[in-house]
Amino acid sequence: MNLRRFRIAARLSTGLGLTVAFMIALIVLGIVSMMRINERLEELASKTTVKIWYATMIQDSVHVIDNAILNMIVARKEPTTMMEYVRVMTARKTCESAMEALAKLEDTPYGREMLGRMQQSLEEGEKENSKVIELARAARYRQAAGIFLETSRTTGAVVRQVCSELVGYEKEEANASYLAATRTYRFTSFMFVLMGLTVLGTASAAAVLLTRSITAPLKQAVHVANRLGSGDLSVEIDASGRDETAWLLTAMKEMADKLKKLGEVEHQLVQSQKLETVGRLAGGIAHDFNNMLGVILGNTQLMKMQNPGAQKVAERCTVIESAVMRASDFIRQLLAFSRRQILEFRPVRIDEMVREFEKMMRRMLHENIDMRIVAHSDLALVKVDTAQISQVILNLVVNAREAMPDGGILTIETDVVVIDSGFCYFHPGAKTGTYVVLSVSDTGIGMSPEVVEKIFEPFFTTKETGTGLGLSVVYGIIRQHGGFIDVASEPDRGTRFSVYLPSTTGEAAQGTSRMEGGLMTGSGETVLIVEDDEDLRQTVSDLLALLGYRVLTACDGEEGVRVFRGHSSEIDLVLLDAVMPKKSGFEAYREMDMIRPAVPSLFVTGYNAVHGGNSEEGANGAGVIQKPYSVEVLSRRIREILDGKQPETVL
C-alpha cells in the first residue's frame, strides 16, 4: 500500500486513531468478559448454595416428620397427637415446596436422577407415615410403633441419604463449575494478553511503516539536496505521492529542471560570449591584415600604372592582385563571423530569394538528394543584405549536402513566428517580436551534442578538407542582421538549422547591379588622407597623385583635424580611416564638420566600425569604402562624391 497517497497529518491521525480505537475496544471487551465471568461465578455460587439449602431443608423436614410421629406414638395423648400431626403436615408442605424449588434449579441428569429417587422415597415414606399416623390417632399405638420401626424410619433414612448425596453432588458440581470458570478466566486473560500484544505489535509495525513512509522521502530529499548542492543536476527525483514530502520533492524537481534550463542558458550565453570574443579578435586581425593587403594591392597597381608597356610586369601584378583578392575574401569571411563587414540592407521576401536560388541549389546537389521547398507566399518582409543571406542559404545547403553522402531529403521551409519572452529566456540573443524563419533540414548523419556545441566556432570542422568557416560565417551574418540561429540534431536522425530574421514593413526592393568601369581621374582637386598606417598612407597618396589629385596627409585623427583647420577652404574631399589611435575617423570628421559643415568625406575601414553596417546612415552624405580596395573602386567613389552623386556601399 502506498501511504504517500495520503498526507502526513492524515496518516498520523489515522494511525493514532486506529491504535487508540483498538486499545479501547480491547479494554472494553476485557472488562465485559470479566464481568460476565464474575456474574457466572456468582450465579453458580448462589445456585449451589440455594440447592444445598433446599436439600438440607428436605432432610430437616424428614427428620421433623420422624420426630413428630415418634412423639405421637410415645405420648399416647390426643392433644399431643394433634399438635404433632400439625408438625407433620407442615414439614410435608415444606418438603414439597423444597422439592419443587430443587426441580426448577437442578439442570444436571445425575441431579435429576437423585431428585427422582428422593421423590419416590418421600412418596413411599408419606404412605407409610400416613398409616402410622392413622393408627396413632386411633390409639393403636403398639401397632403404629411396629410399622414405624419397620418401614417409616427406613424410608426416612433413605431420604436423608439421598439428601446427603445431593448436597455432596452439588458441592462437587460447584467446585467443578468454579474450576471451569477459573480456567475460562485464565484462558480469557491469556487471550486478552495475546490480543494486547498483537495490537501492540501491529501498532509498532504500523508506526515503523508510517515512520518510514515519512523518513524515506525525507532522506531522499536530503540526498537530492546534497546532490543538487554539489552541482549534480542529473539526480533522479521520485516525486510520486500526494503528501507534503511529495510536494517538497516536486518543488526540488522543478528547481532541478529550472537549474538545468538555467545551465543550458548559461552554457549558450558562454558560447555566445566566446564567439563574440573570437569575433572581436577576428575583427582586429582583419583590420591590420586589410591594411597590409591594401599596401600590397596599391603598390601592385602603382607598378602597373607606372609601367604600361611592360607586359611581364603587368602579368605578375595581375597574379598578385588575384592573390590579394582571394586573401580579401578570406578576411571577409572572418568579418562576416565577427559581424563587422559592411552590409547594404533592403527589404525583401525570403521566399522569393529561395525561389530565385532554387535552380542553383539543385545544381549543387547530388542526384540521390531530393530537395523540397515549402515556401509561404504571404511572408512578412525582412531587411537584409541579399548577398549575405544568399551566402547563408548556400552554406546551409552545402552543409546539408555533405551530411548526406548516401542521399536523402533536403527540405527548405519558410514561415512566420511570433516570439515571446518565454522563448527568449532559453535563447540568448533573441528578442520578442515577429520573425521570418528560414529552416534547412536534412535526413543525414546528424551530430552529437558535443559537436553541436562547437559548430559555430571558427575553424572547427569535422571534414578532412573543410575550412571550418562556413557555419561561423552564417552565425556572424545572422547576428549582424539582428537575428539568431537555432540547431536541432541527433546522430543518424538528421539536422535542422532554423534562421530567425526580424520582420519589417514596407515594399520589397528591386535588385540592383554593382557599378563596373575603369579608372576615373581627378582635375587637380585637393584630397586630405588621414591614415595611421604609414605604408598604406603613402601608397594611397601616390595613387591619388598619379590620378591627378593634389594630396595632403595626416597620421591620425588629431593631426587630420589640424591639417584640415589650416587648409579647410582648399580641401575638396577628406579620406579618413575609420579606426585610428588618439581620435577615430568619425570623431575627427565631426570636428571637421564643425569647422566646415558638410565637407565631402569618404570613410575607409577594414570592417564595419562607422555606421553599424548601414551605408544609408552616414553623416551628411559621407561615403564608405572597405579595405582592401582597388584603384578603380577608389577612383570611382571619389569621383561620385566630388560630382555629387549618391554614394553606394561597396562590399
Q: Is the pLDDT of residue 528 over 90?
A: yes
What is the sign, positive or negative, of the torsion defined by CA atoms of 286, 287, 292, 296?
positive
**CATH class of the domain at 350-504:** alpha beta
Worst-scoring range by mean pLDDT, 10-24, 376-390, 455-469, 537-551? 455-469
Q: For residue range 311-366, list pLDDT tens digits in order.
A: 777 778 888 877 777 676 666 655 555 545 556 678 888 888 888 878 778 888 88
Q: How much is the average pLDDT of 37-55?
A: 73
* 293-310 mean pLDDT: 77
Per-residue pLDDT for 431 more than 60?
Answer: yes
Q: What does pLDDT average to over the chain?
A: 77
More confident residue, 297 or 469: 297
Cα torsion 607, 611, 613, 614 to 10°: value is: -150
SS3 for 574? strand
What is the residue type of 24? I
pLDDT at 442: 93
* Residue 409 binned pLDDT confidence (cut-offs 50, 70, 90): very high
Three cell numbers, residue 239: 516525486
**Most confident of the ranges 7-11, 326-330, 358-362, 572-576:** 572-576
CA 451 – CA 527 distance, rounded (Å): 52
Looking at residue 552, its pLDDT comes to 94
Q: What is the pLDDT of residue 299?
A: 82
- Give the best-scoring range by mean pLDDT among 34-43, 77-86, 592-601, 642-651: 592-601
| Contacts with 624 (C-beta within 8 Å, 6 or more apart), sequence order | 342, 602, 603, 605, 610, 611, 615, 618, 647, 649
Closest CA to 560 of 575, 549, 539, 542: 575
Contact 72, 133 (CB under 8 A): yes
Phi, psi of 533 (to 5 degrees): -80, 115
Of 433, 340, 427, whose CA–CA distance to 388 is shortest? 340
pLDDT of residue 611: 41
Of all residues in the chain, what percent carry a pLDDT higher than 90?
10
* pLDDT category of residue 527 using cuts at 50, 70 and 90: very high
pLDDT at 280: 64
Confidence of residue 650 (pLDDT cuts 50, 70, 90): very low
Domain 3-214 has CATH 1.20.120.1730: yes
Q: How confident is the model at residue 567 (pLDDT cuts 50, 70, 90)?
A: very high
Q: Which of 129-138, 198-207, 290-299, 573-582 has the highest mean pLDDT?
A: 573-582
> What is the reported pLDDT for 49?
79
Average pLDDT in the 18-43 region?
74
Q: Identify the CA nearest to 300 among candidates 636, 549, 632.
A: 632
Burial call 317-345: b when 16+ CB within 10 Å, e when fewer: beebbeebeebbeebbbbbbbbbbbbbbb
Helix 109-137 × helix 78-105 angle, to 10°: 170
Under DSSP, the state recorded for 523 is: S
Whole-angstrom distance, CA of residue 83 vs CA of residue 81: 6
Q: What is the pLDDT of residue 554?
A: 93
Looking at domain 245-338, which CATH architecture does it have? Orthogonal Bundle (1.10)
- The reply to whether omega before 405 is within 30° of 0 (cis) is no
Q: Collect all residues with Cβ–Cβ distance below 8 Å to 143 and sequence separation of at least 6.
A: 135
Cell 514596407 sits on residue: 506
User: Domain locations in the chain?
Assistant: 3-214, 245-338, 350-504, 526-642
| CATH homologous superfamily, domain 526-642 | Response regulator (3.40.50.2300)
User: Is residue 582 within 8 Å of 564, Cβ to Cβ?
Assistant: no
**Reported confidence tier of residue 41, pLDDT bands at 50, 70, 90:** low
Residue 43, CB half-sphere, CA atoms under 13 Å: how many?
A: 9
Query: Is the CB of residue 444 less than 8 Å from the CB of residue 495?
Result: yes
Q: How confident is the model at residue 565 (pLDDT cuts 50, 70, 90)?
A: very high
Are 431 and 418 contacting, i.e. CB atoms less than 8 angstroms apart? no
pTM above 0.75, yes or no: no
Region 180-205: mean pLDDT is 76
Higher pLDDT, 432 or 32: 432
Cα 180 to Cα 174: distance, rounded to the nearest angstrom: 10
Q: How far apart are CA 371 and CA 397, in angstroms?
A: 10
Q: Say if strands 526-530 and 550-554 run parallel, antiparallel, or are unpaired.
A: parallel
Closest of 303, 307, 284 to residue 295, by C-alpha: 303
CB–CB of 401/365 below 8 Å? yes
Contact (Cβ atoms closer than 8 angstroms) between residue 365 and residue 371: yes
- pLDDT value, residue 515: 35
How do residues 504-522 score in pLDDT, each as one tens digit? 876 655 543 333 446 788 8
